[in-house]
Amino acid sequence: MITNAETRTNVHEIAPDVYRINTPVNTPDGFSFNFNQYLLVDDEPLLFHTGPRQLFPLLREAISAIIPVARLRYVGFSHVEADECGSLNLLLAAAPQALPLCSSIGAMVSVNDLADRPPRALADGETLVLGRHTVQWIDTPHVPHGWDAGLLMETTQRTLFCGDLFTQGGSGEVALTESDILGPSEAFRKPLDYFAHAPQTATTLARMAAMMPRTLACMHGSAWRGEGASLLRHLAEAVRG
Ligand SMILES: [Fe+2]
Ligand SMILES: [Fe+2]
């Protein structure tokens, strides 16, 4: 479903109750990119990533096509960057009961100060029941970047909200694919490596693989369905070089 004819912002359900909101963008130098946010609809709806602040009207419009924005209860994000959480305070204003959801490090270092309401900080491995769905927080410091980084796993359908992992350039027009995303994401990473290459990167990726995700909800590009453990192991090898 296209929710904005001008920008081609679109919404697709990529796993049960999980909606991908995609906005393609073109930079002034002709570079094609895209930003995804994911809405998990449940008794306590959760949005993972907010997109940049300047795209907030498009996000609000897209969420409103699925649920009233005021119903949001959690606004989660991996780490502090504009595309991860730039619209956080605008969302908190639009959804009076919503709380930021982030890592304990994220809360301590940034979010306690940046956010207009105190966050619900999750410890590594902590779970949060949203209704039919439960999500689990995984600390992933410096993977792919940011001391505060972490990711969310939806434990029933095993959808991993994998943030910047497997970032693919272009418009991201295919919402969900079963074909290879590692090749395109490695092609994107080559000239513009966004990984911190910290000593624990391989261990962190192996930990995510052990959770055996079935859907990878990528923040940039197509979401992917398949045997997530194997793809994460291949990513670890590629990053190791
Ligand atoms: Fe990032
Ligand atoms: Fe990102």
Both structure tokens of 13? 């359900």
**Mean pLDDT, the chain, as a whole number?**
97
User: Which helix (H) or strand (E) element contains residue 61?
Assistant: helix 56-64
At 149, is the pLDDT very low, low, confident or very high (cuts 50, 70, 90)? very high
pTM exceeds cut of 0.85: yes
CA of 159 to the centre of ligand 1 (A): 19
Q: Check residue 241 and give its pLDDT.
A: 86
- What is d(CA 193, CA 239) in angstroms, rounded to the nearest whole number? 10
Domains, the chain? 2-240 (3.60.15.10)
Question: Is the link from the previous residue into 144 a cis peptide, with omega within 30 of 0?
Answer: yes
Q: Which ligand is nearest to the CA of 33?
A: 2
CA angle 196, 164, 146 (to 5 degrees): 40
Q: What is the pLDDT of residue 27?
A: 86
Residue 196 DSSP code = -
104-127: pLDDT as tens digits:
999 999 999 999 999 999 999 999
For 182-224, what is each residue's pLDDT tens digit? 999 999 999 999 999 999 999 999 999 999 999 999 999 999 9
Tokens standing for 33? 């990119």
Per-residue pLDDT at 95 exceeds 90: yes
Using CA atoms, how far residue 82 sits from 6, 51, 158, 225, 237, in Å, is 22, 7, 27, 27, 29
3-state secondary structure 82-148: HHHHCCHHHHHHHCCCCEEEEEHHHHHHHHHHHCCCCCEEECCCCEEECCCCEEEEEECCCCCCCCC
Give me ligand 2 centre to Cα 37, in Å. 10
Q: Is the pLDDT of residue 9 over 90?
A: yes
- Ligand 1: distance of its center to the CA of 165 in Å? 9
pLDDT, tens only, 20-55: 999 999 988 889 999 999 999 999 999 999 999 999
pLDDT at 181: 98
Q: What is the pLDDT of residue 142?
A: 98
CA-wise closest residue to 8 among 216, 17, 21: 21
Residue 195 CA to ligand 1 centre (angstroms) = 9
Q: What is the pLDDT, as a whole number, of residue 49?
A: 98
CA–CA distance, 151 with 165 (Å, rounded to integer):
10
